[in-house]
Amino acid sequence: MNHRAILAAVLATWRIEQPRLITSLARMVRDVPLAEDLAQEALVAALDHWPADGIPEKPGAWLMATAKRRALDHLRRASMLARKHALVALELEQREQAMPDLDDRLDDDIGDELLRLIFTACHPLLSREARAALALRMICGLTTSEIARAFLLPEATIAQRITRAKRTLSESGLAYETPRGAELSQRLSSVLEVVYLIFNEGYTAARGDDWMRPRLCDEALRLGRALTAIAPQEPEAHGLLALMELNASRSAARTDAAGDPILLPDQDRRLWDQIQIRRGLQALARAEELSGGTGFYVLQAAIIACHARASAADQTDWPRIAAIYGHLAEVAPSPVIELNRAVAVGMAEGHRPVSPSLSAC
């Protein structure tokens, strides 16, 4: 296998394994930025060894074992907390001998290590913007330019946010923890935003040959379902899940055989996933029951539900969509929402625009 093929294999493995590496290492060292650094060291080691030794039979396990060895080395040589780290390292070594996989589920309010990492990245010590940027960088492996695209900001601004956020977490002494009770509720809005951005990055990919990145969509959906379990009375958690389920239900119809996007009115609705639509409508009903139909994610899900309920494009309830956009513009005013509202009003009055919607796929 040539060097280029090996490099591609390393990067492909890294993209898949990075979140699991960071979550496992964060459990070990109790420091999220340090965990990212150790994971990066494992990547560098793979780039050094795989071209000479060949791709391991289990490349993900190779990265994990390398990263954990480096974590144990770090714990042993850390001087300022030598006693505590020695005890942790001993415990970890004993557990490694008895059970090599440290990814067993914790008995806590979250129970999902990736979700726990998102809550950690959304620490109240960080600004709202920094929380989302840091989580996208560490959890999804998005580049600075991809995160900048998601926020419509310069790369330099995002890079500064990530650097400052990592420094703040490292210096806080609260770098890895599970929030509970009121503190969990305090962080929930930021976590919802991060999960939403993860889904959007998968739904309309910023990189690669594929227009969509299904793995990111699936990961966001899994996290969304977990959030409704740990915050069952939070309407926006159910609203976000409904929004993602309903959007994802159209995945099979969104591109043609050549991979080009198909606009919503032109999609073959027989390809829409009806089971996923039912799940989305159930989540929306729960969200509306809890909130009365308000909230950023709840309103967006209500709009998508109008499309999902229509068996044909000409049966879409455009007057209702226009009305919902009016409420959404009050909750989160933006030029994009106003433009989509204008499109919906035009459709409701019988004027079909050239492009039915900015998010018409």
| Nearest by Cα to 63 from 73, 50, 53 | 50
| Nearest by Cα to 216 from 227, 230, 229, 206 | 206
Q: How many Cβ atoms sit within 10 Å of the Cβ of residue 39?
A: 28
Q: What are phi and psi of 127, to 5 degrees?
A: -70, 160
Return the C-alpha torsion angle 51, 53, 57, 60, nearest 10. Answer: -60
1 HSE (CA, 13 A, CB side): 14
- pLDDT value for 354: 47
| Nearest by Cα to 328 from 302, 360, 308, 290 | 302
196 HSE (CA, 13 A, CB side): 21
- The answer to whether 31 and 176 are in contact (CB under 8 A) is yes
- pLDDT value for 169: 78
Report the distance separating Cα 206 and Cα 17, nearest Å.
19
- pLDDT value for 240: 97
Find where tokens 């590496």 sit. Answer: 21
Q: SS3 string of the chain? A: CCHHHHHHHHHHHHHHHHHHHHHHHHHHHCCHHHHHHHHHHHHHHHHHHHHHHCCCCCHHHHHHHHHHHHHHHHHHHCCCCHHHHHHHHHHHHHHHHHCCCCCCCCCCCCCCHHHHHHHHHCCCCCCHHHHHHHHHHHHCCCCHHHHHHHHCCCHHHHHHHHHHHHHHHHHHCCCCCCCCHHHHHHHHHHHHHHHHHHHHHHHCCCCCCCCCCHHHHHHHHHHHHHHHHHCCCCHHHHHHHHHHHHHHCCHHHCECCCCCECCHHHCCHHHCCHHHHHHHHHHHHHHHHHHCCCCHHHHHHHHHHHHHHCCCHHHCCHHHHHHHHHHHHHHCCCHHHHHHHHHHHHHHCCCCCCCCCCCCC
| Nearest by Cα to 243 from 210, 315, 195 | 195
- pLDDT value for 99: 42
- Amino acid of residue 289: E
10-15's contacts with Cβ under 8 Å and 24+ in sequence apart are 10/43, 10/46, 10/47, 10/50, 10/59, 13/46, 13/59, 13/60, 13/63, 14/43, 14/46, 14/63, 14/141, 15/141
| pTM of this structure | 0.69
- The answer to whether 122 and 223 are in contact (CB under 8 A) is no
pLDDT along the chain (361 residues), means of 10: 79 80 81 84 90 87 90 72 57 54 41 72 79 78 79 88 84 63 77 86 61 74 88 93 96 86 92 95 96 90 96 93 94 91 89 52 69
